[in-house]
A and B are shown apart, each in its own frame.
Chain A
Amino acid sequence: MALVQTAVAWLLLPGAATLAAAPAPTAPADELDELGEVIVSGERATRKVEDLIPWIRRLLGDYTIEGYVHLGGKNEAEDRRMVRGSGLCVGFGLAPGVQCEIHVNWRIPEGAQGPGTLAGVSYLTPAMILYGVEPDDVGIRYLQVDNRGMAEGTNGLVVGNTASFTVACVDVPEGCQRVTRITAPPDSKHIDMRIDTNVDGQLALRYHFQFTRVAEVQAPGPAASGSKR
């Protein structure tokens, strides 16, 4: 009995899941690759609105964007494209709301084919993204509209410094899901954005952008609106 209690307590420990998810040393290399996509953390999603506000404020700034795109989702060298771009995120309102305009470009593959973003074309030239603190579902809600006018958005949870959003692809008919992870550490001039597009559970496209803040953008002060709703 004491052995069972010890086992349950061990599983409930925040660090236990991490240990449990660690691959066995004898596992074949293929299985290790599969597990490479799994992130198991003992951290819980932020469940207080006041804890979301510091995170959303970290998005403000004038940025240069660098990184790469993996067309086809595989780590093939010929499918990798360096990206260049810029972004501006301004705040408004009390929380604040954040509005970002980004321009991200890369070399389009010859004979680009496939539905929507899967063709490998950048539709982020520009794209507009609006973020707000969602008090009802306690997360960050966003909507992104790209240069075709396609809108994709949902509510996401913040765990630690990372907000994660999972949404059905608007430009691919079925079986496509886009997972966006934005990591914004405090007191850092870098923001990391990864956007994975999965089709039928397989990674089909990966964007990895690093935003580097080149100029501060003033956050709106709390005096901007003192009224209550």
Chain B
Amino acid sequence: MRRVLLAATLLVMGTAAAGAAGKNPRDANIDVSYLIPEPVTQTGQIAAWLRRLAGRYRVEGAVSMPARGTFEPLRGNGDCAVVGTGAGMHCIFDIAWQDIFDISLGGSDAGVFNLPGGVAWLSPAMMLIGLDPGKQGLSFLVVDHKGLPEAGSGSIAGDRATLRAGCVNAPNLFLSMRPSATYEGRRPDTCERITRIDARAGSSLVNMVIDIEINGDRATTVDVTLRRVSPDDAAGLQPLRRRR
């Protein structure tokens, strides 16, 4: 009788374990569903997304260069306003960090060299974004602290806009980098700046990540959190010139 009871108990436990197998996170066969953000291609929806950016912001974040292990905090402010009553967005940024250089004290490479994104190019900078209905996306232009422009196009999926542009003045950047610097096993050849802006409806936070890719390899990431400030707090921000 005892043997029968023990067998029955083991059978029940075994059945229960089998039923729970699908919930075991260590189970290699677990069902995983991935959420793919839906592309936003309708002009009205793109416009609605752009309007989420409007506001004044305090900015915090960091510049990191993973290959070098460099991490530099950044601070500043931003001000984004719609153009008229439409969907265009105009932003003024004043975001600064301690400039990062590649310093070599000895050997044949001795000297001070530039790094992609090492200099605080957003202090100040302006960004203008508008609709490109032909491409069902965005056109944008960023003019940096030197007055140099980077233009490109972008798209929106879910709450995220992805903007791509070739780095302005890239040949000069390459020439001013350490001669022995290599990316993907070769000298710097191409440079692309990819900006991802996450803006959820009704959120007080906007996240902006700017990756600088040399030869397709991520060299620098500028991770920026924009925290919306109330009009009272905005009074304490540095004045940003604009006529509305």
Q: Which residues of A contact B (CB under 8 A)?
A: 56, 88, 90-99, 101, 125-128, 130-136, 141-143, 145-153, 155, 168, 170-171, 173, 224-225, 227-229
Contacts and interface: CB of A to CB of B under 8 A. Distances in A.
B144 interface: yes
- Which 6 A-B pairs give the minimum distances between C-beta atoms? A151-B130, A95-B147, A149-B87, A132-B149, A145-B88, A147-B84
Contacts of B124: 92-93
A96 B125 CA distance: 11
B143 A93 contact: yes
A97 B84 contact: no
Interface of B: 47, 50, 83-90, 99, 114, 119-121, 123-126, 128-134, 138-141, 143-149, 151, 166, 168-173, 176, 241-243
A57 B165 CA distance: 25
Contacts of A96: 147
Contact of B147 (A88, A93, A126, A155): A93
Nearest to A88: B243
Given A133-B147, A143-B141, A227-B99, A149 B130 contact: yes
A123 to B, nearest CB: 8
B83 A126 contact: yes
Contacts of A148: 86-88, 131
B146 A94 contact: yes
A99 B126 contact: yes
Given A92-B126, A147-B83, A151-B130, A132 B141 contact: yes
Contacts of B139: 143, 151-153, 170
A134 to B, nearest CB: 6
A91 B84 CA distance: 21
A13 to B, nearest CB: 34
Given A93-B143, A152-B139, 4 more contacts: A97-B149, A147-B86, A150-B133, A225-B145
Contacts of A170: 131-134, 139
A116 to B, nearest CB: 10
B152 to A, nearest CB: 10
A151 B131 contact: yes
Contacts of B47: 149
A145 B148 CA distance: 19
A156 to B, nearest CB: 12
A132 B87 contact: no
Nearest to A155: B151
Contacts of A141: 141, 149, 151
Contact of B128 (A91, A130, A171, A229): A130
B128 A151 contact: yes
Contacts of B129: 145, 151
B82 to A, nearest CB: 8
Nearest to B241: A90
20 contacts: A95-B147, A97-B144, A101-B243, A125-B84, A126-B83, A127-B84, A130-B90, A130-B128, A132-B143, A132-B147, A143-B128, A143-B130, A143-B140, A145-B83, A147-B83, A148-B86, A148-B87, A151-B139, A224-B145, A229-B119
